[in-house]
Amino acid sequence: MGNFFKTLLAVFPFLLAASATVADDRPNILWIIPDDMSAHFSCYGETAIETPHVDALAAVGVKFTNAYVTAPVCSTCRSAFITGMYQTSIGAHHHRSGRGEVKINLPENVKLVPGLFQEAGYHTSISGWPEKKKGLGKTDYNFEWDKTIYDGADWSNRKEGQPFFAQIQSKGGKLRGKDAKGWESVSASAEKNLGSRTSPDDVKLPPYYPEVPELLSDWAAYLDSVRETDRMVGEIVARLKEEGDWENTLILFMTDHGISHARGKQFMYDEGLHVPLVIAGPGIKAGTVRTDLVEHIDITALSLAAAGIEIPEVMQAQDILAEDYSPREAVFSARDRCDETVDHIRAVRTRDFKYIRNFLPERPYLQPCAYKDAKEILKALRRAHKAGDLNEAQSLIFRETRPGEELYDLQNDPHELKNLATDPTFSEKLAELRGRLDTWMEETGDQGRTAEPEAQFESDMAVYLKTIQIRSTPENYKTIADNIAQMKQWAAEGK
């Protein structure tokens, strides 16, 4: 045996030990991402409830006050943040798509973040909360992907000294359900675990919602879901401390999009797009507040960078924690088909203005949508509208058609109620933001610029109807089938 190989064998154990030391020094990365929840935490100004655990995380980390999702619905949003790409760039922009015979495949140069961590030697996991030892947590991606990018449902199975990249996906705002049964369930849970429930009397609704009993009760239950989510954060932090991982774990807390409500989830107003984003851990200066605009996909780039993993050149996310990061001037969002409901909306937001383009203006704002129409809050709103009990701001969602363009002065109109698109005073601002959106759609290769192929729509609707037939009622099945027929009819009419 040559001297070189003898020397190599002699030092090999030390090389392994050095490699393990390097791995030990790399931080764990933990994402905590609840469903359907806006920034209704006390550290963000909510006064009806207290959220001590998220507040404590913000106190030792950085709180972003202007974080926005690129898609206000679960699967499209999740398809975006797990790749660090705009969902419109990778063909994942239709909610719950690629589930049938017609599949969606990612471009070869687009990789899922867990796979990149795994290749770098990290243990990767995704779970729900309370933790599920069996089965993965919520993924909901709109494309074909290899489940082996996750090593399991919990980081406790990692090798000794191995850093982990973990995701905890929780129900968040979905805990409140769709009606009084769900409201009671989450409020009873809050009362049991936290000693009290939120009273509808303490609720202050946005001005575009009427203060009817159903909406007040639903919002109170939603706030209890926020409190339960905060309790979850406390339990996760306690576990990290107990297991000795607290000091070396970068924790990222964000929701997948805003509250599921009439004007929130699925739409381009801030209620559906604005999310909390709190990051704490190694290298993060305690008590920092960032007011610059960031996009939810940025969590991918900053996480890779924190682990010392090269950010793919194709990735559209940015490392917003980098010393040389140049803050964005605008953020972008897109909404396309959600379940059976066909829509096509794009938006660009700066610090001071929001521009929304409705590509299907001849359709009503509240198109038929079985998911949303089943909610008691939507039923209550429709009753109030029919009775003539809504004021002008509260009636906006019942427009039979929509303006092609919407422009809002967010400093003077934070609830986005006064459309300035036809006001000559704002013609220059309208032209500027219209141009920004056009440029973004072109440069990012927005695949929603053309209608969804009929074969794709039919494929996904077949899976959707089959699922409803198995899990739901004949009445709900008929409703969805009728909605699909309505979508086809409007498309045939050019609407």
CATH label of the domain that carries residue 103: 3.40.720.10
Distances from the Cα of 143 to the Cα of 82, 112, 138, 153, angstroms: 11, 11, 14, 21
Q: How many domains does the chain have?
A: 1
Q: Given this model, what pLDDT does residue 132 score?
A: 57
- Enclosing H/E stretch for 4: helix 3-25
Ordered alpha helix ranges (H), 156-242: 180-194, 213-242
Q: Is 36 helix (H, G, I), strand (E, B) or coil?
A: coil
Whole-number Å distance between alpha carbons of 425 and 232: 48
Peptide bond into 210 cis (omega under 30): no
Q: Given this model, what pLDDT does residue 6 score?
A: 42
Q: Given this model, what pLDDT does residue 396 score?
A: 97
Q: Is 473 helix (H, G, I), strand (E, B) or coil?
A: coil
- Is 15 part of any domain? no
Distances from the Cα of 4 to the Cα of 7, 8, 11, 12, 15, angstroms: 5, 6, 11, 12, 15
Whole-number Å distance between alpha carbons of 131 and 227: 18
Per-residue pLDDT of the chain (495 residues; tens, 9 = 90+): 444 334 434 444 444 334 443 445 899 999 999 999 999 999 999 999 999 999 999 999 999 999 999 999 999 999 999 999 999 999 999 999 999 999 999 999 999 999 999 999 999 999 998 765 568 999 999 999 999 999 999 999 999 999 999 999 999 999 999 999 999 999 999 999 999 999 999 999 999 999 999 999 999 999 999 999 999 999 999 999 999 999 999 999 999 999 999 999 999 999 999 999 999 999 999 999 999 999 999 999 999 999 999 999 999 999 999 999 999 999 999 999 999 999 999 999 999 999 999 999 999 999 999 999 999 999 999 999 999 999 999 999 999 999 999 999 999 999 999 999 999 999 999 999 999 999 999 999 999 999 999 999 999 999 999 999 999 999 999 999 999 999 999 999 999
Whole-number Å distance between alpha carbons of 378 and 375: 5
- Enclosing H/E stretch for 125: strand 123-127
Q: Given this model, what pLDDT does residue 405 score?
A: 98
Q: Given this model, what pLDDT does residue 200 score?
A: 98
The separation between the first and the last C-alpha atoms of the chain, rounded to the nearest angstrom, is 79
Cβ atoms within 10 A of the Cβ of 385, count?
16
Q: Which residues of 97-120 are buried (b: 16+ CB within 10 A; e: fewer)?
A: bbbbeeebebeeebbbbbbbbbeb
Q: Are 296 and 331 in contact (CB under 8 A)?
A: no
Residue with tokens 């359907």: 36
Q: Given this model, what pLDDT does residue 131 score?
A: 63
Q: Given this model, what pLDDT does residue 12 score?
A: 44
Q: Is 320 helix (H, G, I), strand (E, B) or coil?
A: coil
Q: Is 303 helix (H, G, I), strand (E, B) or coil?
A: helix
Beta bridge partners of 182: none
Tell me the Cα Rg of the chain: 23
- Is 352 part of any domain? no
- Is 404 part of any domain? no
Q: Are 240 and 224 in contact (CB under 8 A)?
A: no
Query: Cα–chain-centroid distance for residue 454?
Result: 27
Nearest Cα residue to 192 out of 232, 230, 228, 236:
228
Q: Are 242 and 233 in contact (CB under 8 A)?
A: no
Whole-number Å distance between alpha carbons of 271 and 288: 24
- Is 426 part of any domain? no
Q: Which residues contact 429 (CB under 8 A, 6 or more apart)?
A: 353, 407, 420
Distances from the Cα of 49 to the Cα of 40, 134, 206, 209, 225, angstroms: 9, 34, 16, 20, 11
Whole-number Å distance between alpha carbons of 361 and 346: 12
Q: Given this model, what pLDDT does residue 15 score?
A: 40
- Is 354 part of any domain? no
Domain that holds residue 112: 26-322
Tell me the two tokens of residue 24: 């030990």
Whole-number Å distance between alpha carbons of 58 and 225: 19
- DSSP 8-state class, residue 255: -
Question: Could you give phi then psi for residue 486, rounded to 5 degrees?
Answer: -65, -40
Tell me the two tokens of residue 79: 């398809």
Q: Which residues contact 11 (CB under 8 A, 6 or more apart)?
A: none
Query: Cα–chain-centroid distance for residue 293?
Result: 16
Most distant CA atoms of the chain, gap in Å? 93
Q: Given this model, what pLDDT does residue 133 score?
A: 55
Q: Given this model, what pLDDT does residue 9 score?
A: 40
Cβ atoms within 10 A of the Cβ of 370, count?
21
Residue with tokens 């490699």: 19
- Is 313 part of any domain? yes
- Is 350 part of any domain? no
Q: Given this model, what pLDDT does residue 135 score?
A: 80
